[in-house]
Structure 1
Amino acid sequence: MSPILTHRLARPKTEGSMTETCLSPADAKAELARLTAPVSKQLRSAGMLASLSEVLWAAQAALVALALGGLVAPPASLSVPQAALGFVFVMLLRAGLDAAAQARANRAATTLVAAERARLLTEAARLDARATGLAPAQLASLAGEKLALLGPYVSRFTPAMTRSRIVPIVFLALVAPLSWVVAVIFLIAGPLIPVFMALIGMAAQQASERQMAHLGTLNGTLADRIAASADLRLLGAEDRAGRELSIVFHILRARTMKVLTVAFLSSTVLELFSALGVALVAVYVGFNLLGEITWGSWGTPLHPAGGIFLLMLAPNMFQPMRDLAAAWHDRASAFAVAGELKAAKAMLSEEGQIMGTGAAARALPPAVLSWAGLALRPGPGAAPIALPDGQVAPGEAVAISGPSGAGKSTLIAALAGLIRPDAGEIRWGETVLAEDSADAIRAGMGWLPQAPQFIAAPLSEAITLGRPGDLSAALKAAHAEEIIAALPEGLATPLGDIGGGVSGGEARRLMLARAHHAQAHLILADEPTADLDSETAQAVLAGLMALRAGGAALLIASHDPAVIAAMDRVITLGHDAEDRT
């Protein structure tokens, strides 16, 4: 990914929120079908293998029934050793089928979650600089623990659903020729289970949706409190922030317990009906073999082998539906995640996209960056602002000045391809900034945003971004050596996304070191000295001028008179827009 875009997912942002998104069962089912479509072939094969394994229990039951029935009512049609060998063979075959089915289901789950996570992060990384819809904490929660909940739905619930549709019908066909009473018991007890599961499932989905929404709220609140921990200590508000977090945690715990309560309730209902069904079969078979009941077996007495077969088959008749009930809360969680994922994608699609793909590219040679006829929207729904034409030559230092809202930050972002212009053209030499050239143009730029941003890695990696080069020289040029010396682990210290552990001025000097190390042809800086004391601001300005001395061009948006005075030219935005030397 381009160095300019490497840190965009970590940009601090509090605007926008993901509210509880309830899809109707039909819509949620359709959305899950769309999500699982790429792995549907794997899921079908996993479900069929699992169903075949379950059906083979009938063969094992028949072997046992024939052997034991022959002992009770000779002559035996199958000896015990023969039955034992056959039983072990079928058992090994079933174990192999189960392993193959589970492996395919797990692969499908891993593929689905990884693909959706990559797609979501790619779309979020390509949001333009004006995007306000999805905060980083919400994105992290959705891409992390929430999307992972699709895995159990794919690997457990989907194969269980396939088994519950196939196995009971096969077993019903096997028991009907032996006893119509047992078949009727299965027909009555079996359908009651899905009916009650559906009723419980509606409550489970609502509980899961509320839990998913509050989980995102918790992550956002926690991220905000961590980011503001230094300010909270200065204000003496740690206790109040702790109490607020405690309230949020208690609400999440209560909603999680509601989800678990519904999950346990569904399992209890299923166990009740399946236990009643098995008990009725056992009572009927027992009284029939004793001669107390002479009907229900098509006018002929029930043979001991047939009775044993029915008794062994009865529990497994309900087993697929028991497995389905155990995984029913996975379905409810997946429905909730599908609704939130759909809402997130809709929100991302409404935001603007950067130009290019955001991938790493080979930088173009140094050239004049020029723009003409630009019109840019500073925010969603705002009217386009017409900006004066301008250019920056290699080695030149240019300031962009003007009142707040004049479009300084918007122009800087647009020149990097992070905002699509409503009108006008941007060129790097003779190359027009467009979809196919944006990544290569960005690769030659260094980006110093107003809010420092780092990747979650040791500081050495956060500065070099994996590129070779002399790190010590970059630190020296940015006057950042003493910052590294003061850190507890030096260059191995992880700072976090927004530079926790260093001051704002120190974080900007570390970003300057990153620009020095990258040896960018053009540095785009947005208010690099804002909110800094004069000494720190002077150190940052010295680092910028060292970049220029190394051959880089500077284009800096700033209100700071010291920064503006150090530039060769000033482009003024606003009503008095002009380009003055």
Structure 2
Amino acid sequence: MARRASPDRLLPAKAQATLRRAALLSALAAAAWPLQALLISWGIGGWLSGAPGSASLGVAAGFAAVGIARAGLDRVAARLAFRAADGVIHDLRQQLLTREALRPGAGASSAALAAMLTEKLAVLGPWITRYRPAMARTRLVPLLILALAFYVSWAVGLVFLIAGPLIPVFMALVGMAAKEASSRQMVEIGDMNTLLIDRIAALPDILLLNAGDASRAAFEARAEGLRARTMAVLRIAFLSSTTLELFAAIGVAMVAVFVGFSLLGEVTWGSWGGLTLSEGIFLLLLAPEFFQPLRDLAAAWHDKAAAEAVADELDALAGDDTAPVLGQGAQAAPLAGPASVALRGVTVLRGAQRLALPDIEVGPGESVALSGPSGAGKSTMLDLLAGLLAPAEGQVVVAGQPLTAGIADAWRARIAYVPQSVHVPDMTLRRFLDPHDSGADLNAALRDARAEGIVAALPEGLETVLGETGAGVSGGEARRLLIARAFLSGADVILADEPTADLDAANGAAITEALVALAKGGRTVIVATHDPALAAAMGRIVPVGEGVA
């Protein structure tokens, strides 16, 4: 079984420095307990020996002062740890979203990505906030108490020395099983999310085919699998907790028995000159705290196992070799140069298969239809021209220069893209059409796009909020609104992917007229289409051969 690397690799240097401070403060707070125990033992011993009340008050005041200091240190340590955890999880989510947004063909499904962003990354929180402080306390407090115990009684020190290492040994044995159980649980969570999203997407078909019972049975089976994986993790956690508590309880009991019989005079060995009442109370107060850091570390060990499983999944996502989108997707000034594009000797990879695409040269103001069977590579050519896909071989030339990551954002500032499935954000139609509030004439753009009737039919006109899915307009109407946005944006290169697909004759004709109007206005228009009427309306047709898209 391969040994996993520590999830510490997920922590940036700043977070590691913060967690080191938190761990140090937590360890110092825990290390102050022997001082409180000493004060309690002195106070009780003095009270029983008839010491004046002022001495007891002084002991109580000292105990309270140390307790307040410990509470303050713990509070600061917890605040630092939680702040570091929030920052790390936030940064990982941002990095993951950015990376996946620039990899449109990445292997991670939307369901798996959603599970990682929500449930799985949240697992890192307990590991960050608990494991490091627990490890720091374990490295300091047991050794300090062991030294103090040997100073007072070699027998108690020997009990600690024998019982203490049993906890880490058992913790390591259980940890191996916990890692595997946590990994299986994380996989099951991802599968559950994937199934749920798939079923929601297919809900109309499920209802149409009367397949509700079968779908429900599959979902119940997956839910049962997740329950079983979760219970396996909990069983390991409860088993390890019970065993560790047993070791700790036996150790504390042995100290209590030794101290009790020593104070009764039944045991005369095990100390350096006879055990006093104060020393016995001191040892009794130290015993639970000797084991407490080890118990805390054992609990945090399960958090570490879960974090390792998440870290491995993040490594797998980062190792996806899908070619990223060129550029960063940031706003940029439009690229200078002619509104021309070209593909020269371009091939792309689709899995293990290589697809060769035809060479094309499109000059400023030209209108071109890419025509061919499904799977021939028409949509792929549009993605290449927009910098949404990098070629395996060959060259994409835009505005007279090779398309690279350095100019991709500036090139896309000149492009208007009309996809088959239009995503309308949750904003008003006015803001969607003119996101930068340029003050352009929206009515003229809608008229040129043959879309003025769409707005007139909406309940609040341009102030209508269409929502995330474009509710309130059909697919064809949404594409016409995108074309209106192209008129408004001043984009001089229009890329349209099957803009008339699945539309009635009226909507298809309106979109064709709008694209022709864009071309007559001097824009470069390139469409991928099966529609012979749209293809005929363009200036020329470029056939795209058989292949894999």
- Identify which range, 257-266 or 56-65, moves more after superposition: 257-266
Instruction: Tell me the distance in 1 between the aligned counterparts of 2:161 and 2:53.
Output: 31
The equivalent of 1:96 in structure 2 is 72
Aligned letter for 2:261? F
User: Whose relative contact order is higher, 1 or 2, with alpha carbons under 8 Å and at least 6 apart?
Assistant: 1
Aligned letter for 1:420? A
Q: Does residue 523 in structure 1 map to residue 523 in structure 2?
A: no
Q: Does residue 444 in structure 1 map to residue 414 in structure 2?
A: yes
Instruction: Tell me the distance in 2 between the aligned counterparts of 1:42 and 1:161.
Output: 15
Of 489, 492, 501 in structure 1, the residue corresponding to residue 465 of structure 2 is 492
Unaligned runs of 5+ in 2: none
Q: Does residue 305 in structure 1 map to residue 275 in structure 2?
A: no
Q: Please list, as runs of the form range in 1=range in 2, the aligned pairs for 1:21-40 lying within 5 A after superposition.
A: 24=2, 26-29=3-6, 32-36=7-11, 38=13, 39-40=15-16
| Cα displacement (A) at 1:215 | 1.0
Aligned letter for 2:99? E
Q: Secondary structure at the match of 2:345?
A: strand
Unaligned runs of 5+ in 1: 1-22, 576-581
Aligned letter for 1:400? L
Instruction: Tell me the distance in 2 between the aligned counterparts of 1:220 and 1:462.
Output: 33
Of 296, 321, 335 in structure 2, the residue corresponding to residue 323 of structure 1 is 296
Q: Does residue 359 in structure 1 map to residue 335 in structure 2?
A: no
Aligned letter for 1:435? A
| Cα displacement (A) at 1:272 | 1.7
Instruction: Tell me the distance in 2 between the aligned counterparts of 1:327 and 1:503.
Output: 53
Q: Please list, as runs of the form range in 1=range in 2, the aligned pairs for 1:526-541 lying within 5 A after superposition.
A: 526-541=497-512
8 A contact 2:357–2:381 mirrored in 1: no
The equivalent of 1:168 in structure 2 is 142
| Cα displacement (A) at 1:265 | 2.2
Of 366, 372, 375 in structure 2, the residue corresponding to residue 402 of structure 1 is 372
8 A contact 2:32–2:66 mirrored in 1: yes
| Cα displacement (A) at 1:425 | 3.6
Of 316, 332, 338 in structure 1, the residue corresponding to residue 311 of structure 2 is 338
Instruction: Tell me the distance in 2 between the aligned counterparts of 1:255 and 1:490.
Output: 49
The equivalent of 1:433 in structure 2 is 403
Specify whether residues 234 and 542 from structure 1 end up closer, same or farther in structure 2 by C-alpha distance, changes over 3 A only: farther
| Cα displacement (A) at 1:444 | 1.4
Q: Does residue 463 in structure 1 map to residue 432 in structure 2?
A: yes
| Cα displacement (A) at 1:216 | 0.9
Instruction: Tell me the distance in 1 between the aligned counterparts of 2:434 and 2:179.
Output: 43
Of 538, 541, 544 in structure 2, the residue corresponding to residue 570 of structure 1 is 541
- TM-score for the superposition, normalised by structure 2: 0.90
- TM-score for the superposition, normalised by structure 1: 0.85
Deviations 1:307-356 (A, max 9, x none): 11111111111111222233232112111111111112112xx1112222
Q: Secondary structure at the match of 1:524?
A: strand
| Cα displacement (A) at 1:400 | 1.2
Instruction: Tell me the distance in 2 between the aligned counterparts of 1:484 and 1:270.
Output: 70
Deviations 1:100-157 (A, max 9, x none): 2112211221222222222222221222x5x252222212222222122112111112
8 A contact 1:377–1:384 mirrored in 2: yes
Q: Secondary structure at the match of 2:404?
A: coil
Specify whether residues 111 and 528 from structure 1 end up closer, same or farther in structure 2 by C-alpha distance, changes over 3 A only: same
Q: Please list, as runs of the form range in 1=range in 2, the aligned pairs for 1:382-401 lying within 5 A after superposition.
A: 382-394=353-365, 396-401=366-371
| Cα displacement (A) at 1:66 | 0.8
Paired residue total: 541
Q: CA RMSD in A?
A: 2.9
Aligned letter for 2:221? I
| Cα displacement (A) at 1:162 | 1.7
Q: Does residue 414 in structure 1 map to residue 384 in structure 2?
A: yes
Q: Please list, as runs of the form range in 1=range in 2, the aligned pairs for 1:16-55 lying within 5 A after superposition.
A: 24=2, 26-29=3-6, 32-36=7-11, 38=13, 39-55=15-31
| Cα displacement (A) at 1:172 | 0.6
Instruction: Tell me the distance in 2 between the aligned counterparts of 1:533 and 1:229.
Output: 25
Deviations 1:501-548 (A, max 9, x none): 865445544544554554422221111222333344334434544555
Q: Please list, as runs of the form range in 1=range in 2, the aligned pairs for 1:492-511 lying within 5 A after superposition.
A: 492-496=465-469, 503-511=474-482
- Identify which range, 268-277 or 74-83, moves more after superposition: 74-83
Of 48, 66, 82 in structure 1, the residue corresponding to residue 58 of structure 2 is 82
Aligned letter for 1:150? L
Of 170, 173, 176 in structure 2, the residue corresponding to residue 202 of structure 1 is 176
